[in-house]
Amino acid sequence: MRPSFFPTVFTLCVVGAKARDVPQNVRDLYNSIRDKGSCADRLATGFWATSSGTNTFSYCGDHLSSGKVVYIQGTGGSLADMDIDCDGVQGGPQDDGRCAYNRSPDLQDTTAFQNTVARYRAGVSDLNTYVHPYVVFGNTGSKEGWRTFDPMSSGVQPLSVMAVVCGDKLVYGVWGDTNGDDGNHPMVGETSLALATACYGDSMTGSNGHSRTDVLYLAFTGREAVPGASGANWNASNYDDFAKSIEQLGDRLVERMRSWGSRARAEWRLLVSGTILGIIWLSI
C-alpha cells in the first residue's frame, strides 16, 4: 500500500494567513482520495496535469452529495500539480517580477470573472495574481475534440471560496479563472502566484511551479461559498490582507464537511485494514 501523504504528527504553522493546520476531516479526505487511487464519479475526464504526461486526470464528484465538493484526481493516487497563472491585473506594489512576460509569455490581462469583480465596485477592476489567491478551475475551448468542464454545472459558483491542500498546509483561495484552449492540451492544476507562494514560497514564478501531483483542490458548491462584494477584501493591497478576509468563510465551509469526515476516516481505516489482512493472507 502506498503510504499516506500526511505524517501522524503535524507541525503548527504560524506564518500569518499563509499557513494553516490541515483539519482532521480534510486530512481524512485527502488520505482516502489518494488511497482509493482514482475517482468513480468522473464529471469530466481526459485532462492533463503536465504536457509530457497523460490525459488521465478528471474532475470528480465522488463527494459531491456528501461533502458538497468537486475535486481533481488522476490515477494511481495522483492528484494535481500547481502551475502558475499570471493573468489579471498587472503591476502594483506587490509585483516583484516573478510573473513578468518573459517568465509567463502566455499571460493575459484579464481573468474569466473580470466582469463580476468589476460589478462588485470594490475598488479593483480584476483579480491580481500577486494579491488574490485564486484557483484556475474548469476548462473551456472550441477546438475539435477538446475536453471541457464547467464547474457551474455541478453547483460551483464564480469567485467562490476554495480550499487547497498543498504539502502540510491548508490554503484558502477563490475560483478565479479557467483554462482555455490556447495550448496543446486541456490542462488542470494551476493557481495565482499569491496562492502558490503561500503553499511553496518565493521560488514560485510564472515559469516555475510545483510539479508533483500531490495537490488537492476542493471547490465548494452552493451560493453560501461565495463571499460576494462585501464578504472579502477585494481591494486588499497584499495577499495576507485578502486571505484573512476569507478565512472565516473558508473555515465554515470546511466545518460543514465535518460530519462527512468521520465517514471518510472509517472508510480509509477499512481500506487500510483490508490491505493488511490481504497481505497476511498471502503470506500464510
pLDDT tens for residues 63-122? 999 889 999 999 999 999 999 999 999 888 999 999 998 888 778 999 999 999 999 999
Question: Is 166 part of any domain?
Answer: yes
Residues 6+ apart with CB under 8 A from 65: none
Question: Is 56 part of any domain?
Answer: yes
The residue assigned the cell 500526511 is 6
Write down how long the chain is: 284
Give the confidence band of 266 by pLDDT, cuts at 50, 70, 90.
low
Question: Is 192 part of any domain?
Answer: yes
Give the confidence band of 246 by pLDDT, cuts at 50, 70, 90.
very high
- pLDDT at residue 283 tops 80: no
Q: Which of 269, 212, 273 is nearest to 77 (CA)?
A: 212
Dihedral, CA of residue 244, residue 65, residue 49 and residue 85, to nearest 10: -30
What is the pTM assigned to this prediction?
0.87
> For residue 40, how many other CB atoms are within 10 A of its CB?
9
9: left (phi over 0), alpha (psi -120 to 50) or beta: beta
Q: What's the one-letter identity of residue 201?
A: G
Q: Name the domain count of the chain.
A: 1
Give the confidence band of 277 by pLDDT, cuts at 50, 70, 90.
very low
Q: Write out the residue range of the structural domain in which residue 167 sits.
A: 17-283
CB 6 within 8 A of CB 26: no
Predicted local confidence at residue 3, as pLDDT: 35
Question: Is 2 part of any domain?
Answer: no
Question: Is 103 part of any domain?
Answer: yes
Question: Is 128 part of any domain?
Answer: yes
- pLDDT at residue 192 tops 60: yes
Predicted local confidence at residue 156, as pLDDT: 98
Average pLDDT score over residue span 33-59: 96
Question: Is 12 part of any domain?
Answer: no
Question: Is 9 part of any domain?
Answer: no
Instruction: Considering only the C-alpha atoms of the chain, give the largest distance between any 2 of them, rounded to a whole number of Å.
Output: 69
